[in-house]
Amino acid sequence: MRTLVFVAMTMLALGTAHAAGPKTAVLDVANMTCPACRITIESALRRDKGVLASQVDTETGIVSVQFDPDKTSEVRVAKTITDAGFPAKARAHGK
């Protein structure tokens, strides 16, 4: 019985060790001009089950999205925003 518990605990520990943590995508987004644009983008992102949080800055044209890489991707996040009517392009890492 102890062996079974040890094996189960080891498998659980290994599973959490391989789980990816949240990632952040920073995107340049066009055509954002007002608070309604922010609401539209945030609403679209909420429908993506992998999106954990978002921050939309209409003045700078930047959207930051924290997401679960096991459930969505940076490409999918950009497509979601683009499909909502705001062409989005991921920034190069480190910029």
Structure tokens at 49: 């089950």
Please, where are the H alpha helices in 27-67? 35-46
- Distance CA(78)–CA(89), nearest Å, equals 6
> What tens digit of pLDDT does each residue of 32-91 get?
999 999 999 999 999 999 999 999 999 999 999 999 999 999 999 999 999 999 999 999
Task: Tell me the domain boundaries of the chain.
Answer: 20-90
CB 63 within 8 A of CB 29: yes
- Distance CA(31)–CA(13), nearest Å, equals 46
CATH code given to domain 20-90: 3.30.70.100
- Report the predicted TM-score, pTM, of the whole model to 2 decimal places: 0.77
